[in-house]
Amino acid sequence: MALTQHRTPIFTAVQQYVNEGTIPFHVPGHKQGRGLKEFTEYVGPNVMKIDLTCFEGTDNICNPLDTIKEAETLAAEAYGADYAHFLVNGTTSGIQAMIMTVCQPGDKIILPRNAHKSAIGGLILSGAQPIYVQPEISKEHGIALGVTPEKIREALALHPDAKAVFLVNPTYYGFTSNLAEIIEIAHSYDIPVLVDEAHGAHLPFHPELPPSAMSLGADMSAASTHKMAGSLTQSSLLLVREGLIDNKRVKAVLNLTQTTSPSYILLASIDVARKQMALYGKQLLDKTLLLANHLRTELSKLPGLTLIGEEMLGNPGCYGWDPTKVAVNVRALGLSGFEVEHILRHKYRIQVELADLYNVLFLVSVGDTDETINMLIEAMTDLVKSRPVQKVTKFGLNLPKTPEFVVSPQTAFHSPTYHVELDEAEGEIAAEMIMAYPPGIPIICPGERITREIIEYVRLLKNEHCSLQGTEDQYINKIKILANREQFEQLETANSAG
C-alpha cells in the first residue's frame, strides 16, 4: 500500500497546470487571482492558481475517468472500501446520498433519534419514514450516547421491511456503539448499514482508536476528512462496500445533488490528507493521543471539572471511545458550558469545538502541538481559580424525551403550514427543525409533536445564548406548524386501528 499511497493524482494535476504556465480562458473569472486582488494578497497566489474547473487533465467529478478516479481508488484502498467518492458539499451530502441510495418514498429506515440534521434532510429528500431508536442518555452529563444492539434487534423484529439501519460512529462526544454486533444483526435481515462517520475519518489509522465502520463490515459510511484527517473544510469522503449496495446507484444519486463545479482546492486537499494519513497516520496520531492524554490528565486535577470518557466504557451505548475528544463537564463550577465557551474565547482567545448546558468539548487533532495544549491547560487552570464558588449545579434539567412521530418529515415539509409563537405551539405538529449547532442534533423534527418540555428546553437554551437554528424565524421565537393537524391525526388513528 505504501508505494501507491505516495501518489496524489489531483494535487499533482493542478500543480502541473500551474507549472506549465497555462493561460486561462475559462472559469473561474478571477483568472488565477488577478481579478480578486485583495483576497489573493491575503490567501496567496498559489491557492488562486489551483482554483480550477473540469477539463483535460483535471477530470470530471460527475463521471471520473482519470485523476479523480485514481485519487478515489487510492482513498478506497486507504479506508478499506470498495469505492470512495470525493465530496465537496461536506459529509451532509454523503449522508443524504446514503439514505437516497437505499430508500424510496414510504420506505422505512431505522436510525437513532440523535442523528445529525443532515439525516433528517435525507429523509425529506428521499421520502423515507424514520423508525427512531432511542440512544442511551447520560443524565449526569446531559448527553446522548450510542445505541445498543438490543434496541436495533427490537426495531428490526418490529420492522423487518426496513431498507437500512443508519448509525452514528462515533458520537460528537466520541462514544461508539457495538457496531460490529449491530452490523451482524442487520445483515442477518439482508439490510445494509449506513454510518455517519463525520467525526471518525482518522479511525482507520491507529490501533488505539475505535475501529472504523468499513473495517467492521458496514455497507456505506461518510467520513469528514476535514474534521480529523486534515483536509479543508467542506471536503469529505463517501465510502461504499459492494454487495447490498449498488455503487452505480450511489453515483447516480450523487450526480443529482453534488455540484458540477467542484473546488479543486478542496479535492486536492482530500488527496493530500489521504496520502498523509495512509503513510504517516500512525505516527501523527501517536503524538495526538499523547497530547490528548496529557490534556485530560492536567484538566482532571482541577477542582470543579469532571472529564467524560474512558470511565464510561462498559455502560450501555458506550462500547468504544475516541480519546481525541476531550469532553469536560463544568456543572460544579456553577457555569454552563456556553458560559465557559464565552470566557475562553473572549478572555483567552481559545475556541472550543462544542458547548452545551453542562459541558465543553475540546478536539485534539494532528494539527495540535505541545504549545497549543499547554495554552489550553493554562487558560482552564486560570478560569477555575477565578471561580469563587465550587460544586454549584446551575441546571437540573434532563434532555427532552423523544417527541411523538406523527407524519413523515417529507410530508410535513411539503404540507400547508403557518407560523405560531413557539410558546403557543404545544401539541402542534412541527414543519421545521430546531437544533443547537453544533452538534446539529434536532430537538424537534418535521412531523413530530411539539411538547411543553421541548418548548421549555428551547427557552432555556435561548436564555443561555446557545446558537439555535433550523426555523425560518432566525430568533426562534416562532415555529412553522402543519395547518391541517387534525387531518393527519385522524389518518394516524385510522392507520393504528387498521
**225 and 333 part of one domain:** no
> Which residue do the cell numbers 421520502 mark?
127
459 inside domain: yes
- Write down the pLDDT at residue 486: 79
Number of domains in the chain: 3
Whether residue 359 is contained in a domain is answered as yes
**In tens digits, what is the pLDDT along the chain, a chain of 498 residues?**
445 899 999 999 999 999 999 999 999 999 999 999 999 999 999 999 999 999 989 999 999 999 999 999 999 999 999 999 999 999 999 999 999 999 999 999 999 999 999 999 999 999 999 999 999 999 889 899 999 999 999 999 999 999 999 999 999 999 999 999 999 999 999 999 999 999 999 999 999 999 999 999 999 999 999 999 999 999 999 999 999 999 999 999 999 999 999 999 999 999 999 999 999 999 999 999 999 999 999 999 999 999 999 999 999 999 999 999 999 999 999 999 999 999 999 999 999 999 999 999 999 999 999 999 999 999 999 999 998 665 556 666 567 888 999 999 999 999 999 999 999 999 999 999 999 888 889 999 999 999 999 999 999 999 988 989 999 999 999 999 999 887 777 765 555 555
pTM for the model stands at 0.94
Residue 38's pLDDT is what?
98
398 vs 138: CA distance, rounded Å? 9
209, 108: one domain? yes
CB of 197 closer than 8 Å to CB of 212: yes
**Residues 82, 10 share a domain:** yes
**Domain boundary at 221, 255, 278, which?**
278
56 and 172 in a single domain? The answer is: yes
195, 339: one domain: no
What CATH number has the domain bearing residue 370?
A: 3.90.1150.150
Q: What is the CATH number of the domain that holds 442?
A: 3.90.100.10
Note whether 472 and 435 are within 8 A (CB).
no
Q: Are residue 90 and residue 128 in the same domain, yes or no? A: yes
Return the CATH number at 270: 3.40.640.10
Residue 292: which domain range? 283-385
pLDDT in tens, 425-442: 999 999 999 998 888 899
Residues 240 and 378 in one domain: no
Same domain flag for 290 and 326: yes
pLDDT tens for residues 473-497? 999 999 999 998 877 777 655 555 5
pLDDT of residue 194: 98
Q: Which long-range contacts (CB under 8 A, 24 or more apart) does 76-79 make?
A: 76/239, 77/1, 77/4, 77/5, 78/1, 78/5, 78/204, 78/274, 78/277, 78/278, 79/204, 79/212, 79/214, 79/223, 79/237, 79/239
